[in-house]
A and B are shown apart, each in its own frame.
Chain A
Amino acid sequence: MNDIELTQLWSRLEPNARERARIETRTFEWIEAGETSLLAEWLNFIKVDPLPGLAFAAMAAVALLMLTPLGWVASAMLR
């Protein structure tokens, strides 16, 4: 096999349509996420879907407040 034939054969390793779409979606989601602040993400979420957005925001706030004391209690119980 010569160089040209091997180069052509290597094209068999290219991604299929679904793999290509997954890679592109994930790559640009990461780039977009990196360019967007957390606050902007939440505000946009609330703007797009107000009720679930507010519910998630409230749950996240409660979780943030509760996790640290719960961690203390758990670690005290394990001792």
Chain B
Amino acid sequence: MAAVLTMPFAPADAWTLAGFFKALASRLGGDAAPLDEPAIQRLVERARAGDRDAAQRLYRQNVDRVFRTVRGMLRSNAEAEDVTQDAMLAALTSLDRYSPRDDARFAAWVASVAVNTARRRFRRRRPELTDTGELPDVPDEQAQPERDVDAARERAALLRALAELAPAEREIVSLRYGAELNASEIAKLVKLEPANVRKILERTRERLGARIESLLKGTLA
């Protein structure tokens, strides 16, 4: 179909300076500065009214957070890509279901969409163990070798340590450190009391931290 054959950026944008920087920002990781909640709410209103630029800005504010959250719960980057795409699509096409009156930050609502999407994938495919000790599957063209070796080791250690956790613990720590939700927001998502979430987080943080440090000191082999 024609839509599938088109470039990811509108032709009208492609040859302007603004379009160039928009494309560059997208390639480098979206909007550089995170927006505060009132600004996010204004974008949500504009996106609901059909403003494409607002929807793109909402997307860029959230896509990395969604990816790093679900990556901690899934077993490969490919699965995390699929779930991120499905979750962002679901979020952007169902903005009417989001209600800030429920005292929910937009990021928490997007995280709930992402976690539900990831859970559906769990149910479809078992066992859902995370890959362990893998290196990045696609070399990055802008890679800086020394820094990237360290980053890859840290990433591998984190993924291996996560794979040793129970799925529920993995979900809770991913929501805490990937989505950057607080204990109350996580409690609503996992249907536990906030005090229980805090206990699980405390216990899991200690185990995870100790395991990552031991993996980084060791060979990771």
Residues of A within 8 A of B (CB): 1-3, 5-7, 9-34, 36, 41-42, 44-45, 48
Contact = CB atoms under 8 A, between A and B. Distances in A.
Given A1-B208, A6-B208, A22-B81, A12 B154 contact: yes
A15 B8 contact: no
Nearest to B92: A31
Given A10-B158, A20-B63, 14 more contacts: A3-B176, A6-B205, A10-B68, A17-B140, A17-B142, A23-B81, A23-B85, A24-B8, A24-B26, A27-B85, A29-B6, A31-B55, A32-B3, A33-B4
Contacts of B154: 9, 12
Contacts, number: 125
Contact of B138 (A11, A16, A27): A16
Given A18-B138, A34-B93, A29 B3 contact: yes
B18 to A, nearest CB: 17
B43 interface: no
A17 B141 contact: yes
B8 A21 contact: yes
Majority SS at the chain A contact face: helix
B215 to A, nearest CB: 12
Q: Which of B8, B27, B55, B209 has the most CB of A within 10 A?
A: B8
B2 A48 contact: yes
Contacts of B177: 3, 6-7, 9-10
